[in-house]
């Protein structure tokens, strides 16, 4: 997994972000972006967190869907049909494998770009989405992290605007970068509101 190093943070350690994907992937991603802005990708540890989340949820879902099969094979349950009791866990397992295979591409397609008047947030490969959030429209900025995020030192920054449809999340950034981004965005939002 190629990774890139950024300039050292204030603590002296270098921040590692996800590297680029293959040349074809990068060409397609660049063709979807209408802006020539430098994008900041998620932290390199974000891919690990994403893979753990997908694997854990897939194992739990498949295990739950195996219960009818086990009960059917033990003769405790006569319903569902055997083919259905086999097909459901098999489909769940296939879906989990597909999610695990697509996770690196999904992680590399995420990013954000701080511009002078707004913030760009992108995500998705097949359904590519770029959200532009003007700093003056932000109401508040929230930083949160789940148990896996905390274990790997990551956080999620949520931007809330006057319109609920333009609320965006920047996932997979280091806790240090999340705190810096929260302060910068809050300050820029206050500056833009004061100018109005």
Residue pLDDT, tens place only, 45-76 = 999 999 999 999 999 999 999 999 999 999 88
pLDDT value at residue 99: 96
Which tokens in the block code for residue 136?
Answer: 């003056």
The mean pLDDT of 25-43, rounded to a whole number, is: 79
> What predicted TM-score, i.e. pTM, was given to this entire model?
0.79
pLDDT at residue 192 in the model: 74
Instruction: Identify whether the C-beta of residue 160 lies closer than 8 Å to the C-beta of residue 127.
Output: no
Residue 128, token pair as written in the block: 């590519």
CATH of segment(s) 110-196: 2.30.29
Section 31-38 average pLDDT: 74
The single residue listed with the structure tokens 């950034």 is 173
Model confidence at 127, in pLDDT bands (50, 70, 90)?
Answer: confident
Residue with tokens 């890139």: 4
Q: Token digits for 129?
A: 């989405």
CB atoms within 10 A of CB 181: 22
- pLDDT, residue 195, reads 61
**Is 70 exceeded by the pLDDT of residue 14?**
no
Apex 58 CA angle, 57 and 60, nearest 5 = 65
32 alpha-carbon distance from chain centroid: 18
pLDDT band at 139 (very low <50, low <70, confident <90, very high): confident
- Quote the CA–CA distance of 177 and 7 in Å, as a whole number: 12
Give domain limits for the chain. 46-105, 110-196
- CA 192 to chain centroid: 28
The dihedral sign for the CA sequence 12, 17, 22, 24: negative
């Amino acid at each position: 997994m190629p990774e890139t190093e950024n300039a050292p943070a204030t603590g002296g350690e270098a921040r590692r972000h996800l590297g680029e994907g293959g040349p074809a992937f990068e060409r397609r991603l660049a063709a979807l972006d209408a802006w020539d802005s430098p994008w900041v990708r998620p932290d390199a540890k974000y891919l690990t967190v994403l893979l753990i989340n997908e694997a854990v949820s897939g194992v739990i879902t498949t295990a739950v869907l195996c219960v009818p099969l086990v009960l059917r094979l033990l003769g405790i349950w006569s319903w569902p049909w055997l083919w259905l009791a086999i097909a459901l866990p098999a489909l769940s397992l296939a879906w989990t494998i597909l999610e695990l295979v697509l996770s690196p591409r999904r992680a590399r397609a995420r990013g954000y770009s701080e511009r002078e008047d707004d913030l760009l947030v992108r995500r998705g490969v097949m359904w590519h989405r770029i959200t532009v959030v003007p700093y003056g429209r932000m109401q508040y900025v929230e930083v949160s992290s789940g148990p896996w995020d905390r274990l790997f030192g990551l956080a999620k920054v949520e931007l809330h605007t006057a319109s609920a449809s333009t609320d965006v999340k920047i996932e997979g950034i280091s806790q240090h970068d999340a705190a810096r981004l929260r302060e910068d965005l809050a300050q820029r939002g206050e500056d833009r509101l004061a100018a109005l």
